[in-house]
Amino acid sequence: MRSGMRECGFGLLLSAVYSVSCPAGPASGAETAPQLPKVVLLGDSARLGYAPLVARRLAGKATIVSPASDGGDSAALLRQIEQLAIRENPAVVHFSCGLRDLSRSRATGRHQVEAAEYQANLEQLATRLQKETSAAVVFATATPILDERHAGRKEECDVAEADIQRYNSAAVSVMNRCAVPVNDLHWVVQHGGVEKLLDADGVHCTSAGNALLAEAVADSLLRQLAIRAIARHFRGHAHGRATAEAVARYWKAQAERDAQVPPAFKRLPVPPLPIPANADEWNQHRPEVFKAVLQSLGDRPPRPSPQRTRLVAREIRRGYTLERVNIDNGVDSQVTALVLIPDHRRTPAPAILWLHSSTPDKNHLLIPNENGGDDSLADAFTRAGYVVMAPDAYSYGDRDESIPGGPMEAYRLAIPGSYRLAEDSMVKFNLWFGRTHWGMMVRDDQIALDYLCGRPEVDKARIGATGMSMGSTRSWWLAAVDDRIAAAVGVACLTRYQNLIAHGELRAHGPYYFVYGLLKHFDTEGVLSLIAPRPFLALTGDMDRGSPADGIEILAERAGGVYRAIGAGERFKSIVYQDTGHVYSAEMRAEMLAWFNRWLGSPAKDSP
């Protein structure tokens, strides 16, 4: 409590600290789960409403530590931060304060903590948490006030929505300077409907409001935990050229594998894709190629129209706003996705549909020192002015348990090979319905594209698709079957199937990768040719075992031949990097960004 002022209370004050431990599964009777990451929730009385619900949502995924009392104003929280958070050695700290700070004495007209002091306290809190812990730090805005409802209570201290907005704005400014993401709980309540989500006091949430806040907080926490896990998984991975010793080992191993492949698998009876003489000839032949490619994906149910979507959460980050969206895929699950909206852009802006690989999920987009750069791809794209959408594929990210076996077959990054178990289940399930798992993945990416095209911030004529590894293949298959993709870049995966088989490398790809009967018609040059005349760039290492270099040469010759035949030769480009494996290098990132800037138009030049 500040000297000379009475503290204004809006919630029950207790003294104890409680820990909600989430057991590993329903059969576990343990009181604690020390193997789980620890999350500390700090904040005012709003937190008391959602904290128990967050603990239930994170059961088996995190141990939630939350004070059983209202955290007080920012000055009080600063005095207690070592005891409440730093000593806990948490993986994530999610904190909020502001409601008590902005409470104003009716007698003196003064706020409990004036805005300038509030900002200084927040900066100290953020700095201490960043320097004295290894935790990811998230700040949450104060929830709205209904002035008329609260004024009827005639308490000694008053709070007002105008002050809520002013203090929230001040907090966002501080957190942007400190590079701390802001979980916009104020937006959650506003978006859900203030009148129905606030209680009779005009300050606290109803049970329905607390449920929405808990969902948004759990979403933010799971994102931070995923980012930590992915960054730890990829730490130390190579991102550039291989050493001379590694190069020699690679080619020696390939020669040994080649020698073991039976001759029959090196001479497969696959019809060649005819290269047309001109655009007219291609226009006549293209419908047959398109039909064969679509048939290879199996029976795909119609996409939902109109879409059923729901915004789950919103984060304010330095340079952009992040939204978490659920899109009903009309069959068996929600397509969960991130949408990033740059702060500085012209509307409508060009957009990138970023498609993750087979190892992490959509959150890989947010991680620095990955994907060929020191900064995250999220920062690189939004700084350039692109709107970005990143959907989870089946069995990944927030969809990890939306599979036939549920959590017992879910993909866990910490368990090597577990993604294969999840994929096996989906492949088998879809076969019974005449579908392919890959076809359903491409369908979901089209559902994400449907959503992206409907966003008011997006110029739907300027949407690019890109990704690495599985994300690369997702991008060029999507571009092949959906001409709303105006340009595509595939990084570290451009596979010609005959060459993959001839080198004995079918095992280099998971079960998701395979389709019906494509090789009865042609190889993947048929898929790539459907992208023409829209721009396509492939960036691949010559030591990428899932994309044999001799196959890439043939794809460049044949798919590139279609581009040249229709007068679009400059729109097809394949770069093969020498002595380079399955990596995303800085050179690849630079080429990717330059390609989109060239063919989608530089959004930076469009910015006001």
What is the CATH architecture of 17-24+34-234?
3-Layer(aba) Sandwich (3.40)
Rounded to 5°, the CA angle 30-36-37 comes to 145
**424-448: burial string, b at 16+ Cβ within 10 Å, e else:** bbbbebbeeeebbbbbbbbbbbbbb
Handedness of CA 145, 147, 153, 155 (dihedral sign): positive
338-351: average pLDDT:
93
Determine the pLDDT at residue 341: 98
| Confidence class for position 157, pLDDT limits 50, 70, 90 | confident
What does pLDDT average to over the chain? 91
pLDDT tens for each residue of 471-498: 999 999 999 999 999 999 999 999 999 9
Higher pLDDT, 119 or 238: 119
Q: Which CATH class is domain 262-599?
A: alpha beta
Determine the pLDDT at residue 24: 36
Determine the pLDDT at residue 409: 86
Q: CA distances (Å), 546 to each of 344, 469, 504, 516, 582, in order?
A: 39, 9, 10, 19, 8
**In 3D, which of 249, 292, 295, 297 has the Cα closest to residue 273?**
292
**Strand pairing of 536-541 and 487-491?**
parallel
How is residue 604 written in tokens? 């930076």
Domain boundaries, the chain: 17-24+34-234, 262-599
Give first-to-last CA distance, the chain, whole Å: 45
CA pair distance 269, 288, nearest whole angstrom: 19
| Confidence class for position 149, pLDDT limits 50, 70, 90 | confident
Beta bridge partners of 182: 139, 316
97-104: average pLDDT:
93
Which of 147-151, 311-315, 412-416 is predicted with the least confidence, judged by mean pLDDT? 412-416
Which of 26-35, 340-349, 372-381, 543-552 is predicted with the least confidence, judged by mean pLDDT? 26-35
What share of the chain in percent tops pLDDT 90?
81
Handedness of CA 582, 584, 586, 591 (dihedral sign): positive
How many C-alpha atoms does 291 have within 13 Å on its Cβ side? 5
Do the domains 262-599 and 17-24+34-234 match in fold? yes
123-146: average pLDDT:
97
pLDDT tens for each residue of 163-203: 999 999 999 999 999 999 999 999 999 999 999 999 999 99
Determine the pLDDT at residue 238: 59
| Confidence class for position 102, pLDDT limits 50, 70, 90 | very high
**Strand pairing of 104-105 and 320-328?**
unpaired
320-339: average pLDDT:
97
Beta bridge partners of 387: 351
Cβ(516)–Cβ(436) below 8 Å: yes
Q: Which helix (DSSP H) or strand (DSSP E) does residue 55 occupy? A: helix 45-57
| Confidence class for position 154, pLDDT limits 50, 70, 90 | low
**In 3D, which of 81, 72, 98 has the Cα closest to residue 11?**
72
